[in-house]
Amino acid sequence: MSFTWTTLWAEPSSLSPEILTFEWALVLALAALAGHLVQRITGLPKVLGYAIVGVVTGLLGFAGASWPLRGLGLFLLELGISVVLFEAGARLSLRWFRHNPMVLVQSLTESLLTFAAAYLALRAMGLEVPVVRALAVIAMAASPAVLMRVVSDLRANGPITDRAMALATLNTLYALSVGTAMLRTIDRSDGTLLVSLAGSAGVLGISLLVGALLAALLTVGFRVLHPTSQDTAVVILALIAACTAIVTPLGGSAPLAVLLAGIVLKQVHPRPWVWPRQLGTAGSMLTMLMFVLVSALAATQASWGAGQVLLAAVVLIAVRAAIKVLSLLMTSAGSGMALHKSFWVGVAMVPMSSVALLLTSQFSAASQNIGAQVAAIALPVILCTELLGAVLVSVALVHTGEAVRPWRPGARPHPDARPPQEPLP
């Protein structure tokens, strides 16, 4: 295939591997530069720069990806999500729930109320039951990726940071379990919710088995390798990639399996982890690619011209944000967190990103008709909450004193700020 500048805006399926590689290399370089400039000039998180580059390049038809995601694009998205969720799971200590079970109650209540509120609000607008069920599941999931990126950029440290990360990790687990099982019944409108919930036990079981195997292999590797060596980073990434490739054909969820592997591994190695520097660099590149891909697809595949669709998206954003905040306020008693802190935890739960996009793509692939309706509403919601959510998380962490005011001239990280690789308590 001969190279001309017009080939850069061709359909992804018609491009040669060389042109696709050139596109993505250029886009990732621009995203890294934009993220750096956004943080340096405004003090806001780098994820905003990544998302803006994704939106612009997506609208220009540059570095596009087929929809619904499949092949290499789907694998890269799942791999990026898996790396993020492995790190999130590896910071989640189940002993925390034994000492403070109200955290688990908060998580379950927040997820169930978000599902119920989204379901009722969208049904009141006249949407079909299968579409509403899928959108309600997508609405459950917060974004550990956005939270981790913002926390890393602002070097945040404190109970609100920890609680938000724990709750986002847990509701992602619920959304992946229920959403993956629901793919089998998406075309059925009656009596399928209980079937989906029962099917989620199978998805969870398969994912847990593969996750336990991954945790066992990593445990063996950690006994041989030095925790901070380059070889350790290679082993972790290679095993996560292998897990990502094989779980879905077995009937499980690749990101869910890796998340569970991180949780299991944390129970085996409860002491603070020292992440290899190479893993952080590779993980950052995958995360950057993930944010660019999410923003590009959300910008190009969303139905921005349909008034009723956009109204449904606005309603879903408002209802979801309100319920996440209200549910945490309702369950703050006995959780070890004051009302005003619970409010800011709820604000930090607003972002949606890659997990929501993955579920949307899977629904679109499972049913062309219903999936198209789901994507039309979900994609604008994902893009808006990714951009707005990153800002809201920054405001929440700064307002509560867990991070410095990044947009203040001469601001520096808090001297007691915990490095991003430290675990949750």
Query: Which residues fall within 8 angstroms of residue 3, CB to CB, at 6 or more apart?
Result: 18, 19
User: Which ranges in 60-158 belong to alpha helices (H)?
Assistant: 71-89, 94-99, 102-124, 129-140, 144-154
Q: Could you tell me if residue 409 is inside a domain?
A: no
Check if the beta carbon of residue 101 is closer than 8 Å to that of residue 276: no
Q: Could you tell me if residue 178 is inside a domain?
A: yes
CATH number at residue 319: 1.20.1530.20
Q: Could you tell me if residue 2 is inside a domain?
A: no
Domain with 353 in it: 15-399
Report the alpha-carbon distance of residue 179 to residue 362 in Å, rounded.
Answer: 9
pLDDT at residue 96, rounded to an integer: 84
Q: Could you tell me if residue 86 is inside a domain?
A: yes
Q: Could you tell me if residue 207 is inside a domain?
A: yes
How many angstroms separate the Cα of 93 from the Cα of each of 89, 102, 259, 332, 383? 8, 14, 13, 20, 31
Q: Could you tell me if residue 91 is inside a domain?
A: yes
Q: Could you tell me if residue 418 is inside a domain?
A: no
Task: Quickly count: other Cβ atoms within 10 Å of residue 365's Cβ.
Answer: 15
Question: For residue 100, what are its two tokens?
Answer: 């403070």
pLDDT in tens, the chain (425 residues): 444 434 444 455 556 677 778 888 899 999 999 999 999 998 889 999 999 999 998 888 775 567 889 888 899 899 999 999 999 999 898 888 888 899 999 999 999 999 999 999 999 999 999 999 999 999 999 999 999 999 988 889 999 999 999 999 999 999 999 998 888 777 765 545 566 667 778 899 999 999 999 999 999 988 888 877 888 888 999 999 999 999 989 989 999 999 999 999 998 887 766 666 667 777 788 889 999 999 998 888 877 766 788 999 999 999 999 999 999 999 998 888 999 999 999 999 999 999 999 999 999 999 989 999 999 999 999 999 999 999 999 999 999 999 876 655 445 444 434 444 443 33
Sign of CA dihedral 302, 303, 304, 309: negative
Q: What total number of domains does the chain contain?
A: 1
pLDDT at residue 10, rounded to an integer: 46
Q: Could you tell me if residue 254 is inside a domain?
A: yes
